[in-house]
Amino acid sequence: MKIGLDVGSTTIKCVVLDDSNQILYQSYERHFSQITQKMAELLTRINNDIVKGSKAQLTVSGSAGMGISQSCKLPFIQEVYATRVAIGKLIPDADVIIELGGEDAKMLFLSGGMEVRMNGSCAGGTGAFIDQMATLLNISLDEMDQLAEQYEKIYTIASRCGVFAKSDVQPLLNQGARKSDISASIFAAVANQTIAGLAQGRKIAGKVIYLGGPLTFLPQLRSSFDQALKTQGICPENSLYYVAMGAALSCDAETDLSTALERIGDYGKTANFLSISPLFETQEDYDSFTRRHAQCKAPRGNAQAYTGEAYLGIDAGSTTVKAVLLGRDGEVLDSIYRSNSGNPVPIIREYLLSLSNRFPKIQIAAGAVTGYGEELLKNAFNIDFGIVETVAHFTAAKCFLPNVDFVIDIGGQDMKCFKIRGGAIDNIFLNEACSSGCGSFLQTFANTLGYGIEDFAKMGLFAKHPVDLGSRCTVFMNSQVKQAQKDGATTEDISAGLSVSVVKNAIYKVIRAASAEELGRSIVVQGGTFLNDAVLRVFENELGVNVSRPDISGLMGAYGAGIYAKAHSKGQSSLIGREELENFQHDVKVTSCGMCNNHCRLTINIFGGNRRFIGGNRCEKPVTKRTSEDELNMYAYKLGELRSYQPVPGKRGKIGIPMGLNLYELLPFWHTFFTRLGFEVTLSPLSSRELYIEGQTTIPSDTVCFPAKLMHGHVQALIDGGVKNIFYPCMSYNFDEGLGDNHYNCPVVAYYPEVISANMSMPEGFRFIHDYVGIHRKRDFPKKMHGILSEYFSDISLSEVKEAAKAAYLEYDGYLTKIHEKGDQIIAEAQKQQKQIIVLSGRPYHLDPEINHGIDKLIVSLGAAVISEDVLSSKVKRFQTKVLNQWTYHARLYAAAEYIGDKPDMNLVQLVSFGCGVDAITTDEVRSILEAKDKIYTQIKIDEITNLGAVKIRLRSLFAALEK
């Protein structure tokens, strides 16, 4: 008999084959990190019930099986090779295999040269990720699959990281979106993440095989893959067991199962893992620690005896809802801290009714709400004030430490840190790419190991050998924990080690502090995660400073909101009354907005029949019904100008230009040039999620910036539109604007046409013109360009090219003149209206609404004017910077930052694309220029999926600071 064991990250699969390779026995079960125990139980059962003393061969495979097989001297086969062996035996004509496991994702290309792709630094989009999403939705995986079949709308949801996905899903839940739509959207996100992350330019075609637990148990997930790939994949019989079968088929030596069981039993008895110093050496150390922190208390009041006006504060967070009722002196009369279960509305309704029933002598004079569900709750219950989270937390922190200069709040899935300068929030740090430093990180492991979070947290306080787990992706950390368990770590050691990881993620991934002094000396910590004494101890040890943790650490957002409501109360609250609360109704409708090209999917919440809250909108059009762009938005003006360049029929037919990267700003030049040559210039459409997905299978890198990824969709759109000639040149240099040491395009902008050419196949009869062009050399350009075009079009003369080039340069100069004139008009009008002016700086392609995610409209809706950096850069002569200033777009940013130094009504927001390696240099230099000039600055990172909740927090905090 041949025994194959597939020991995966979350499950253990087993197959026993007879000498005819027929399955005698198979099993599939989760091991809940008890790997060696489960292996021993399984092999004992096989030995007693199946083998019964007969000869047997055994081979181990799987991501968690390698270490055990090596230590126990058992034959091992790598899981990808095992899959290939099984497929070769059972489905020899397969072309592509897509396999999703607990923490890993694999794509095997079998025809046209074998190639294997696997997930590397992130486990987003795997089975564990889907488990997390089901937990967030408070449903089982079976329910999730059943709901997905009933979907009506697909929302854009990130799947590369749990924090981004939760930040997308949680607002949808708070806004009342259907769980059926969210479930289907999660599956669609997983499919697109897997395809884009693993295909990396190689076409998925032919016979596609689906393997692994998620794709076996979730038919709607398979359907999402089918839709994304435009194919009908096959999930074969025994799809869960292909690695195990491959292992069994690879057996070539007899194994003594009794000896194997002895070795497995001995494995893990000796501790062999990296550890760090204990958090507390003695009980006396801990008692001293708790006495010190017990002194930081909020005042309390007796709600039963209280009479008169009180103030309500609510914090509708990402995973929890907190509320406090404060007395006239700021004392806490009552509070709640609950899981929001995806919708805070019924929880707050129940709490308001409870207050009315329990404390009839108390009248709420004002209320304020903050957090993810701020707008939803404010509209649902007519709450007086809505305030940005950072302001609420800062307001609360000042009550406990008036001279506070740094606040850090770690919640369930988000982390907020901010520096205080001059009584205002000066700089904000938010976790934008990873959730591994947050409360849900600990909650996940506590649940996995079978403990409540409070009990699990206490276990690490006196651990003798806390495991050094480092700071990694939450899902991959599972593997670290399991390995430590196998190597002898106790649950206490793991609890302490995870607390260390939380703090290290906060300090070194989010705050990125160079030293403790950089954070300040008067630090307030808050958020439910800091109620964990182990986390607090590590934080103090790491920074070498004693911090203040209020005894209401988990309620600080709500407490700050209550203090804010008290300070701004007009004596009579607009909060709905008891009768309306008792008859409260909440209805939800889903629709799409058609007032612009974004076509936002709107969730319309209707409360009590007459109050509405619209969620999912990037701008205020669905609310205000205004269809005209705001006159004080330079981004809207520039986009309108560029889209005004329409095709003009010509004698030489159509030539297509993909609208992305540097072709955004250079469109006036190239449109005029080719139109004068007799071509009908056809542009690719405005970017959209659908356009991105159409080109995603040809993207060779998942780490390149999003604007570059979009170019695949734009080129594909031109191909699908039947445009036979596509022009997208390589350009090492941009125009020399005299602002820097040189005038390069960044490498991605300069040479991405080469990537397109290498990874996108052109149908027969199509021509992709991507030669190297230098428009910065005005005198040489016509001759050079004539030589290039002559290779594709035989009837174009040099004189025609010279005439067309002359017109193109004039048109480009005229376009820039219009931009500068319009910019001056916006500045003058903003100053006349006494509005703040935000320099929304970035790259020309940040005009693309799919890239900027409507951030320009969000800023305008907050009451400011928006201009771009090129409006100001032309007003500055070349000046000295601390870096080699050789990139055209960077030079504009530096010049704009320099210009606004003495302008009291101008501040800067910088858009940065994930994956753009040179952006880090720009950010540091721009920050240093602005800090030297005492200007307010914030950076917003943007990608295909941007955490717009975090963006809104940053922008509203910026405006709160400007008010100061």
pLDDT over 80 (residue 139):
yes
Least confident of 76-85, 225-234, 337-346, 533-542: 337-346
Three-state helix/strand/coil letters over 332-380: EEEEEEEECCCCCHHHHHHHHHHHHHHCCCEEEEEEEEEECCHHHHHHH
Tell me which amino acid residue 203 is: K
- What mean pLDDT do residues 488-510 have? 79
User: d(Cα 137, Cα 412) in Å, to the nearest integer?
Assistant: 15
Across the chain, what does the average pLDDT equal?
84
pLDDT interval class at 336 (50, 70, 90): very high
Other Cβ atoms closer than 10 A to 542 = 16
What pLDDT score was predicted for residue 397? 92
Percent over 90 (pLDDT), the chain:
37
Q: How far apart are CA 822 and CA 811, in angstroms?
A: 16
Q: What is the mean pLDDT of residues 688-714?
A: 87
The dihedral built from the CA positions of residue 801, 804, 805 and 806, taken in this order, carries a sign that is positive
- Give the pLDDT of residue 676: 94
CB 375 within 8 A of CB 364: no
Question: Residue 642 in contact with residue 868, Cβ under 8 Å?
Answer: no
825 and 811 in one domain? no
CA-based R_g, the chain, Å: 30
In a domain, 353, yes or no: yes
Band (183; pLDDT cuts 50, 70, 90): very high
> Does residue 406 lie within any of the structural domains?
no
Same domain? For 206 and 250 the reply is no
Residues 432 and 371 placed together within one structural domain of the fold:
no
Average pLDDT rounded to a whole number, residues 110-123: 75
Q: What pLDDT, on a 0 to 100 scale, did the predictor assign at position 333?
A: 95
pLDDT tens for 677-697 read 999 999 999 998 889 888 888
Confidence of residue 720 (pLDDT cuts 50, 70, 90): very high
Q: Is the pLDDT of residue 395 over 70?
A: yes
- Residue 602 maps to a domain: yes
Dihedral angle sign, alpha carbons of residues 788, 793, 797, 799: negative
Supply 96's token pair: 């592509």
Q: Which of 267, 287, 322 is the last residue of a domain?
A: 267
Distance CA 313, CA 325 (A): 6
Same domain assignment for residues 543 and 683? no
Question: 385-386 and 362-371: which strand pairing?
Answer: parallel
CA atoms of 266 and 305, how far apart (whole Å):
64
Among 787, 815, 843, give the residue marking a domain's end: 815
For the chain, give percent helix, strand, coil, nearest 5. 45, 20, 35
Residues 51 and 72 both lie in one domain: yes
Q: Residue 600 is encoded by which pair of tokens?
A: 């936002």
| CB-based contacts of 34, cutoff 8 Å, min separation 6 | 485
Widest distance between CA atoms in the chain: 95
- 778 and 746 within one domain: yes
pLDDT at residue 628, rounded to an integer = 47
CATH code for the domain of 573: 3.30.420.40
Whether the predicted pLDDT of 754 surpasses 90: yes
First-to-last C-alpha distance (Å) of the chain: 77
Enumerate residues 6+ apart whose C-beta is below 8 A from 638. Answer: 819, 847, 868
Mean pLDDT, rounded, for 501-508: 78
Q: What are the tokens at 946?
A: 């941007």
Mean pLDDT, residues 899-904 taken together: 89
d(CA 109, CA 202): 9
Q: Which of 125-139, 378-392, 826-840 has the lowest mean pLDDT?
A: 125-139
Rounded Cα distance, 641 and 648, in Å: 16
Residue 837 sits in a domain of what CATH number? 3.40.50.11900
Higher pLDDT, 468 or 629: 468
Q: How far apart are CA 530 and CA 524, in angstroms?
A: 10
- pLDDT value at position 629? 47
Among the ranges given (432-446, 507-521, 548-562, 768-782), the one the predictor scored with the smallest mean pLDDT: 432-446
Examine the fold and report which residue of 815, 832, 862 is the final residue of a domain before the chain moves on.
Answer: 815
244 in the same domain as 145:
no
- Strands in 699-775 per DSSP E: 725-727, 767-769
Please state whether 822 falls in left (phi above 0), alpha (psi between -120 and 50) or beta. Answer: alpha
680 and 809 together in one domain: yes
Cβ–Cβ contacts within 10 Å for residue 790, how many? 14
User: Amino acid letter at 725?
Assistant: N
Domain that holds residue 355: 308-396+559-582
Residue 385 clears pLDDT 70, i.e. is over it: yes
Q: What strands, in cross-sheet order, belong to the sheet with 23-30?
A: 23-30, 11-17, 2-7, 57-61
Q: Is residue 846 part of a domain?
A: yes
AA letter at 159: S
Q: Does residue 300 sit within a domain?
A: no
Q: pLDDT band at residue 614, thresholds of 50, 70 and 90?
A: confident
Query: What would the mean pLDDT of 321-342 be, rounded to a whole number?
Result: 89
Q: Is residue 54 part of a domain?
A: yes
**Quick count: other Cβ atoms within 10 Å of Cβ 658?**
23
Residues 606 and 672 in one domain: no
Q: Which positions ≥6 away from 106 have C-beta within 8 Å?
A: 79, 80, 83, 97, 98, 99, 116, 117, 118, 119, 198
Segment 772-783, tens digit of pLDDT:
999 999 999 999
Range in 73-82, 189-198, 899-908 with the lowest mean pLDDT? 189-198
Is residue 837 domain-shared with residue 894, that is, in the same domain? yes
In a domain, residue 277? The reply is: no
Identity of the highest mean pLDDT range in 59-68, 137-146, 487-496, 812-821: 812-821
DSSP string for 596-652: STT--EEEEEEETTTEEEEES-SSSHHHH---SPPTTBHHHHHHHHHHT------TT
How far apart CA 444 and CA 446 sit, in angstroms, is 6
Under the banding of pLDDT at 50, 70 and 90, the label for residue 122 is low
CA dihedral 338, 960, 331, 440 (to 10 degrees): 20
Alpha carbons within 13 angstroms on the beta-carbon side of residue 402 total 0
Together in a domain, 787 and 848: no
Instruction: Determine the average pLDDT of the residues in 848-863.
Output: 88
Per-residue pLDDT band at 332 (split at 50, 70, 90): very high
At residue 918 the predicted structure's pLDDT band, cuts being 50, 70 and 90, is: low
Q: For the chain, what is the domain count?
A: 7
Helices 141-148 + 219-229 axis angle, to 10: 50
* 669-688 as b/e: b if 16+ CB within 10 A: bbbbbbbbbbbbbbbbebbb
Q: What is the pLDDT of residue 627?
A: 47
Asked if pLDDT for residue 808 goes beyond 50, the answer is: yes
Mean pLDDT, to the nearest integer, of 537-563? 90
Does 273 map to a domain? Answer: no
* Calpha distance 254→59 (Å, rounded): 10
pLDDT at 330 (0 to 100): 92
What's residue 785's pLDDT? Answer: 93
**pLDDT interval class at 519 (50, 70, 90):** confident
| Per-residue pLDDT tens over the stretch 189-201 | 888 878 877 877 7
Length, in residues, of the chain: 964
Q: With bands split at pLDDT 50, 70 and 90, how would you rate the model's confidence at 569?
A: very high
Distance between CA atoms of residues 806 and 227, nearest Å: 48
For residues 429 and 440, state if they share a domain.
yes
Residues 6+ apart with CB under 8 A from 551: 294, 296, 297, 298
Average pLDDT of the segment spanning 44-55: 84
Range with the poorest average pLDDT among 57-66, 414-423, 657-666: 414-423
d(CA 724, CA 763): 9
